[in-house]
Amino acid sequence: MSPFLLVHRFDLRATLNSGQVFRFDEQGGYFFLRVRDRVIRLRQEGPRLEYSGCDEAFLRDFFQLEVDLEAIEKELSLDPFVRKAMRSFPGLRVMRQDPWECLVCFICSSASNIPRIRRNIEGLCRLYGHPISLNGYQSFSFPEPGAPLEEEAMRRAGLGFRARYLAALTAGCHRGLDLSGLRRHPYEQAQAALMQLPGVGEKIADCVLLFSLGFSQAFPVDTWIKRVMQQNYFRGRKVSNPFIRQRAWEKFGLNAGYAQQYLFHYARMQRARAGNVSGPL
DNA sequence: ATCCAGGGGGATT
DNA sequence: AATCCCCATGGA
């Protein structure tokens, strides 16, 4: 019998499916999630979150279970559209991932789509990780920060032009960058530091800032968010990403990242209902 | 600021 | 089967 944790306002399925993580599967009623060098098995029934492969402290941190979503909803509910999105997925949480893993995964996500991102990341783990397993579920660990990522091998694994970025990331002087240390910097500085890395522009930097470094004001603008923002806050006009981010901060302030996550998931779920399950990221 | 390469997948014809 | 479309980054 696995241990369990009582959770409040947490929706495991919505959270995992909200585009923050790629390394998970559902099998036999369980989610199998891979984080760094371990497999974690999870199942939620109402407030009961059953887990194995990790401890309770890990889950509380990883899924940010202490964050008061009700307070965030109260603030964001001034906006009717975000309120609707929030109420559709009340337990969707912004996670706190390992910064290195998050960075590499989102470099892989560049100009791609979810099925391919997942394949590419699995390929990386197969190349540079080691076998890991839990309860018969087998997988590979995530490459360590010092792994000798090699462009040609990654190209053969289907990473495309992202292979060059990843190779440069480990080959260059970038290895000295203390990712976790960025947490203590102001948002703009942390973002600028990430954007110095190969293959990291504004959007991917914001993903890393929001999903792994605790910057709740980060507002990654991808095409889905762009569409939603233009429709709802610019009367359908085409506007540049800087304007979108500016409007997001005016409307959502430090909760912009949460607003982004609900809007993104809501938009994708609506699209899924219309027929297309796996959209671009 | 604007245009475009780049690469593979999905949708469309 | 050929063609169009998509997309974050980076460089012109």
Q: Mean pLDDT for each consecutive 10-residue tract of chain A (281 residues)?
A: 94 96 95 97 98 98 97 94 94 97 97 93 96 96 93 94 94 79 97 96 97 98 94 92 95 97 90 50 33
d(CA A274, CA A281): 17
The reply to whether A200 has its C-beta less than 7 Å from any atom of strand C is yes
pLDDT of residue A174: 72
The reply to whether A241 has its C-beta less than 7 Å from any atom of strand B is no
d(CA A127, CA A140): 9
The reply to whether A230 has its C-beta less than 7 Å from any atom of strand C is no
Between the CA of A64 and the C1' of C12, what is the distance in angstroms? 43
Angle between helices A187-195 and A202-211 (to 10 degrees): 120
Q: Closest nucleotide to A194's CA, by C1' atom? A: C9
Q: Closest nucleotide to A112's CA, by C1' atom? A: C7
Active-site amino acid positions of A: 203
Do A207 and A104 meet the contact criterion of CB atoms below 8 Å apart?
Answer: no
Do A281 and A95 meet the contact criterion of CB atoms below 8 Å apart?
Answer: no
pLDDT of residue A278: 38
pLDDT of residue A126: 96
Overall pTM surpassing 0.85 (yes/no): yes
d(CA A8, CA A181): 30
Mark out the alpha helices in chain A (DSSP H runs): 12-16, 56-62, 69-76, 80-88, 99-108, 114-128, 151-156, 162-171, 187-195, 202-211, 223-233, 241-252, 256-273
Q: Closest nucleotide to A207's CA, by C1' atom? A: C8
d(CA A281, CA A279): 6
Do A257 and A216 meet the contact criterion of CB atoms below 8 Å apart?
Answer: yes
d(CA A262, CA A84): 9
Residues 81-120 of A with CB under 7 A from strand C: 109-112
d(CA A2, CA A50): 6
pLDDT of residue A51: 98
C chain positions with any atom within 7 Å of a protein CB: 6-10
pLDDT of residue A171: 81
How far is it between the farthest Cα atoms of chain A? 55
